[in-house]
Amino acid sequence: MIHFLRKYKNLLIVVTGVTILIPLLFITYKVLSTHKSSVTVTLDLHPIIGYTLLTYYIFIICCLVTLFVYWIIKNIKFIINLKNEKAKTELIHLQSQVNPHFFFNILNNLYGLIDKDTNKAKELILKLSTLMRYSIYEGQKSSVTLKQEVNFIQNYLELHKMRYHKNVTTSFNIDIENEELKIMPLMYIILVENAFKHGVEVLRDNPFVHISLASKQDRVTFTIENNFDVDEITNTGIGLKNLKQRLQLVYPKKHQLLHAKKGNVYSAKLILQL
């Protein structure tokens, strides 16, 4: 049937047009000459023919309306899908920008350690490979579990402890109700990186980074606090901007990103309502 319609579609269009046009022209002529309504003229032809034509025209009108509605719905769906694809592409692009400068810094550390402390360099390479594997494979997914993100942050902290030649105080308090809760990957690492970049790397004495992650039902709260040099000019760079864009794409109106400075202590809090 479909093959037949495709093969003779032009002929069917012509036949349908003629069957609609000829009676329609005749009825129009009668309406103009007798000043009667089109319905009255149609019924005057013959009751059976009249009702048949009326039914036919109503059917054609319904078909046209249906096709028009279908066309509108199809175009709306196309626009929505286009926007979704654009958002996905933008999100993938943003996720691919996460923490490249951190890996560059670690590679620089490794270069200096290879001749000085081979064993420590090997440990750094193993830790770094774990982080890179997560960043490349899990980081490109739409979501990961809270447990996976916690492990990633813990490995990150351990790696930082190994690379610095000064005492750095770090803490990571975890109070998670459901470890399998799904979140967007590589969110918190941007805030952690900023704490090390603008705090630990700049300060010579007593740098610290305190982190806490808590979840209850569908609410997840991440808090980080670090000290910094008040005389140092800090620039948040693209990292924080990247995070804000990703949050807006994935959690519109379902997130809060708060910042505060008190003396030489900077704190950030990210609240998600999943």
Query: Do the bridges between strand 219-227 and strand 265-273 make them parallel or antiparallel, or are there none, so unpaired?
Result: antiparallel
Round to whole Å and give the CA distance between 6 and 266.
69
pLDDT digits (tens, 9 = 90+) for 42-64: 555 555 455 555 666 676 677 66
Average pLDDT over residues 117-123: 80
State the pLDDT at residue 5: 47
**Residue 208: pLDDT over 90:** yes
Average pLDDT of the residues of the chain? 76
Answer with the residue of higher pLDDT: 199 or 101. Answer: 199
In the predicted structure, residue 177 carries a pLDDT above the cut 60: yes
Going across the sheet that includes 169-176, the strands are 169-176, 208-216, 219-227, 265-273, 255-262
| Angstrom distance (rounded) from CA 11 to CA 174 | 73
**pLDDT on residue 2:** 47
**Residue 13 above 70 pLDDT?**
no
Mean predicted confidence (pLDDT) in 68-97 = 63
What the chain holds in terms of domains, given with CATH numbers, is: 2-92 (no CATH), 98-273 (3.30.565.10)
| pLDDT for residue 10 | 61
Q: What is the pTM of this model?
A: 0.65
Residue indicated by tokens 């960043």: 135
Minimum mean pLDDT range among 61-65, 169-173, 249-253: 61-65
Query: What does the pLDDT read at residue 245?
Result: 84
Q: How many CB atoms lie under 10 A from the CB of residue 45?
A: 16
pLDDT of residue 68: 73
| Least confident interval from 31-35, 59-63, 234-238, 259-263 | 31-35
What percentage of the chain carries pLDDT values higher than 70?
64
Report phi then psi at 268, rounded to 5. Answer: -135, 145
Q: What is the distance between the alpha carbons of residues 246 and 253, in angstroms, rounded to a whole number?
A: 12
Closest listed residue to residue 153, CA positions, set 177, 171, 175, 178: 171
pLDDT digits (tens, 9 = 90+) for 139-158: 778 889 999 999 999 988 98
The predicted structure's pLDDT at residue 29: 54
User: 169, 157 in Cβ contact below 8 A?
Assistant: no
224 and 267 Cβ atoms separated by less than 8 Å = yes
